């Protein structure tokens, strides 16, 4: 498996057990983290499926786009490759630039794991890295379900003390020279100690003297207690520091989580740091309400000099992400949505940047999607699916209401330039928009106006282009969804629904008046399609006489039935077609 991460933001999404965390674990195993976690390879890190067990696990991490200062940390291991760079005139040209390849390999032999140290080089084998070089490769990592409150509390070996200790401000140039921070602490500690030593003070008489009396009895008469702030070495001092919010007490998990992330990001904002600037966050949304998620991901997007790799299950986060930064984990494969990998064109990216909101971002997390033009389809499809024996919610399928004919923008997300199938079935459902005359008769397509002809031609062309992909286009038999429902085996239910929702104008159902209303012709009353769909959905759900076979054989419902079966039958398979 090969994955290309972009500069800046990278967002891994996918259902549970799709491999998102495994990717981060592989990176951590090679680079290690600033948190000095105990990271080692285990037997379940080797490929294992049935009787097929791999004896070798190999991870390679390649760094390109390295500047000269960064490369200076790895002069013994770097190679060269041509990269496109801008010259002083702004013209792009190929120039040789440093490249670093890290190699980690472990072997499973007779039930025992034989690991190797991380190597680097261009020959596929490499040379061992020094401890100093490894320090420049460490990444910042925030695990899922992080216990931020515990990590930020003052205590022995607290995470906050580890973070601060690595900052230049707290690094000692010499053992014999005290840091300014240590001098301040020692002065405060001595003042407190002196208060307990004054023979006439209450601290001495009521506390120290009493303790000393016991100690002299317990040990010997020359023993005396010492009361101060503890060790004055920088490590000990930093362990006494906690992090909070000014004028706020009893902070909740969400606020503590944000504090923890802010503290960890200190690693990447150190002055004169020319090492790796990589931050990996699992499930950024942990303990955060939707608006907090949006604020954080938008702030992280501003950090152009830091590379982020996030995993998420949050539509809120993906709705704010640049589509080009998303990588979908699916069926043991990775599908990046960056330019050149999908059928998305610049105009599609631009459109989706504006209209891919939280609701529509559900399409990334479902096992299959229905892309529909309006509310009526969104309301009715689940009830029709139930009559066919499918439960869209239980099967984790989503209905994406694009509220227009812009469905192709969304469908192209799942169409790959290399023809690969992502295993996420998509059914696009659309109207034909050819109107009947007042008697319900339709023109032959050759007699239709140019607008209808053009739409029909474009739909047929698109349908042909989608052949042999995971995406299908289903077009209404005639005109609109409402017309097809009226002409179908659900006609009586449809008439009852329209009479219930429009009692003043449809006391009795009149086809000619219905055509006028649906086509918005003179004399017709505007139909509330959403109310109509809602009422019809209720009637369908309550009607126990509707037969599955009857629905399947109805020519006016055929396009809806095909759309439902494509997603439900395909999406419920363990492997893609």
CA-CA-CA-CA torsion for 453, 457, 462, 468, nearest 10 degrees?
Answer: 140
Q: Which of 336, 401, 330 is nearest to 367 (CA)?
A: 330
Quickly list DSSP for 305-341: TSEEEEEE--HHHHHHS-GGGEEEEETTEEEE-STTT
- Strand, coil or helix: 110: coil
C-beta separation of 346 from 384 below 8 A: no
Residue 313 CA to residue 285 CA, distance in Å, equals 8
Residue 340 CA to residue 529 CA, distance in Å, equals 40
Quickly list DSSP for 502-571: -TTT-SS--HHHHHHHHTT-TTPPPP-HHHHHHHHHHHHHH-S---HHHHHT-TTTHHHHHHHHHHHHHH
C-beta separation of 312 from 284 below 8 A: yes
- Strand, coil or helix: 419: coil
Task: Give just the sign of the alpha carbon dihedral 461, 402, 406, 296.
Answer: negative
Residue 248 CA to residue 175 CA, distance in Å, equals 38
CATH of the domain spanning 1-34+138-152+251-338, picked from 3.40.50.300, 3.30.460.10, 1.10.1370.40, 3.40.50.2300: 3.40.50.300
Residue 244 CA to residue 238 CA, distance in Å, equals 15
Tokens representing 195?
A: 């208060």
Residue 518: HSE in the Cβ half-sphere, 13 Å Cα cutoff? 25
In this prediction the pTM is 0.85
pLDDT at 572: 63
Q: How large is the greatest C-alpha to C-alpha distance in the chain, in angstroms?
A: 116
Instruction: Give the strand pairing for 9-13 and 307-312.
Output: parallel
pLDDT at 51: 66
pLDDT at 571: 62
Neighbours of 318 (CB within 10 A): 24
Residue 506 CA to residue 531 CA, distance in Å, equals 14
CA 408 to chain centre: 23
CA 315 to chain centre: 8
Residue 106 CA to residue 67 CA, distance in Å, equals 31
Residue range(s) of every CATH 3.40.50.300 domain in the chain? 1-34+138-152+251-338
C-beta separation of 121 from 127 below 8 A: yes
pLDDT at 227: 93
Residue 202 CA to residue 430 CA, distance in Å, equals 86
| Residues 6+ away with beta carbon under 8 Å from 174 | none
Residue 372 CA to residue 366 CA, distance in Å, equals 15
Residue 360 CA to residue 403 CA, distance in Å, equals 11
CA-CA-CA-CA torsion for 446, 448, 450, 453, nearest 10 degrees?
Answer: -60
C-beta separation of 309 from 331 below 8 A: no
Residue 63: HSE in the Cβ half-sphere, 13 Å Cα cutoff? 26
Give me the average pLDDT of each 10-residue run along the chain (577 residues): 92 86 93 83 79 82 90 92 80 87 91 88 92 93 82 86 86 84 91 92 93 93 91 88 86 85 86 89 88 90 91 91 92 90 92 87 91 95 97 94 85 91 93 87 82 84 88 93 96 96 89 89 84 97 96 97 94 50
Please identify which residue in the block is written with the tokens 């460490």: 138
Please identify which residue in the block is written with the tokens 């979908």: 328
| Residues 6+ away with beta carbon under 8 Å from 304 | 7, 8
Identify each DSSP E strand in 238-380 by its residue range.
278-282, 307-312, 326-330, 333-336, 368-372
Residue 472's H or E segment, with its range, is strand 471-475
pLDDT at 575: 45
C-beta separation of 336 from 418 below 8 A: no
Instruction: Identify the DSSP state of 575.
Output: S
Residue 105's H or E segment, with its range, is strand 92-109
Q: Which of 424, 533, 547 is nearest to 484 (CA)?
A: 533
Neighbours of 200 (CB within 10 A): 6
| Residues 6+ away with beta carbon under 8 Å from 154 | 160, 161, 239, 240, 241, 242
């Amino acid at each position: 498996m090969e994955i290309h991460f972009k500069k800046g933001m990278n967002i891994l999404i996918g259902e549970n057990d799709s491999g998102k965390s495994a990717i981060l674990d592989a990176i951590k195993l090679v680079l290690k983290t600033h948190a000095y976690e105990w990271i080692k390879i285990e037997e379940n890190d080797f490929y294992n499926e049935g009787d097929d067990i791999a004896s070798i696990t190999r991870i390679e991490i390649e760094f390109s786009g390295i500047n000269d200062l960064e490369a200076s940390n790895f002069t013994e291991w770097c190679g060269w490759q041509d990269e496109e760079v801008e010259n002083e005139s702004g013209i792009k040209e190929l120039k040789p630039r440093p490249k670093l390849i890290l190699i980690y390999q472990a072997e499973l032999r007779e039930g025992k794991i034989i690991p190797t140290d991380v190597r680097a080089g261009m020959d596929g084998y490499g040379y061992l890295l020094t401890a100093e070089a490894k320090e420049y490769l460490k990444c910042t990592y925030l695990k899922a379900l992080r216990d931020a409150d515990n990590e930020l509390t003052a205590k022995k070996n607290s995470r906050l003390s580890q973070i601060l200790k690595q900052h230049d401000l707290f690094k000692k140039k010499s053992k014999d020279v005290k840091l300014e921070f240590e001098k301040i602490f020692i002065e405060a500690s001595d003042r407190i100690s002196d208060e307990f030593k004054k023979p006439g003070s209450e601290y001495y008489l009521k506390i120290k003297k009493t303790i000393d009396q016991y100690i002299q009895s317990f040990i010997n008469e020359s023993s005396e207690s010492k009361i101060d702030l503890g060790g004055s070495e920088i490590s000990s001092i930093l362990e006494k520091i906690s992090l909070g919010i000014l004028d706020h007490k009893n902070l909740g998990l969400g606020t503590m989580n944000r504090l923890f992330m802010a503290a960890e990001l200190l690693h990447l904002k150190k002055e004169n740091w020319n090492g790796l600037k990589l931050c990996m966050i699992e499930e950024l949304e942990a303990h955060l309400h939707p608006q907090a998620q949006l604020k954080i991901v938008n702030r992280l997007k501003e950090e152009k000099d830091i590379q982020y790799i996030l995993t998420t299950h949050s539509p809120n986060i993906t709705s704010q992400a640049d589509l080009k930064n998303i990588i979908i984990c699916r069926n043991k494969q990775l599908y990046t949505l960056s330019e050149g990998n999908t059928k998305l064109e610049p105009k599609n990216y631009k459109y989706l940047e504006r209209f891919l909101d939280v609701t529509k971002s559900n399409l990334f997390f479902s096992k299959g999607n229905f892309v529909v033009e309006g509310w009526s389809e969104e309301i009715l499809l689940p009830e029709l699916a139930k009559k066919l024996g499918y439960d869209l919610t239980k099967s984790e399928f989503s209905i994406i209401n694009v509220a227009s004919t812009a469905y192709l923008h969304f469908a192209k997300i799942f169409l790959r330039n290399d023809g690969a199938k992502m295993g996420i079935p998509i059914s696009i459902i659309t109207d034909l928009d050819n109107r009947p005359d007042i008697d319900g008769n339709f023109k032959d397509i050759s007699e239709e106006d140019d607008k209808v002809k053009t739409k029909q031609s474009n739909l047929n062309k698109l349908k042909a282009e989608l052949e042999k992909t995971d995406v299908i286009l289903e077009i209404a038999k005639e005109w609109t969804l409402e017309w097809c429902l009226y002409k179908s085996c659900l006609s009586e239910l449809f008439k009852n629904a329209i009479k219930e929702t429009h009692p003043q104008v449809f006391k009795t159902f009149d086809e000619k008046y219905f055509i006028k209303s649906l086509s918005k012709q003179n004399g017709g009353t505007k139909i509330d399609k959403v109310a109509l769909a809602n009422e019809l959905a209720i009637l369908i759900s309550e009607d126990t006489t509707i037969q599955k076979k009857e629905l399947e054989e109805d020519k006016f419902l055929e396009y809806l039935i095909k759309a439902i079966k494509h997603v439900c039958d395909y999406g419920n398979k363990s492997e893609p077609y």
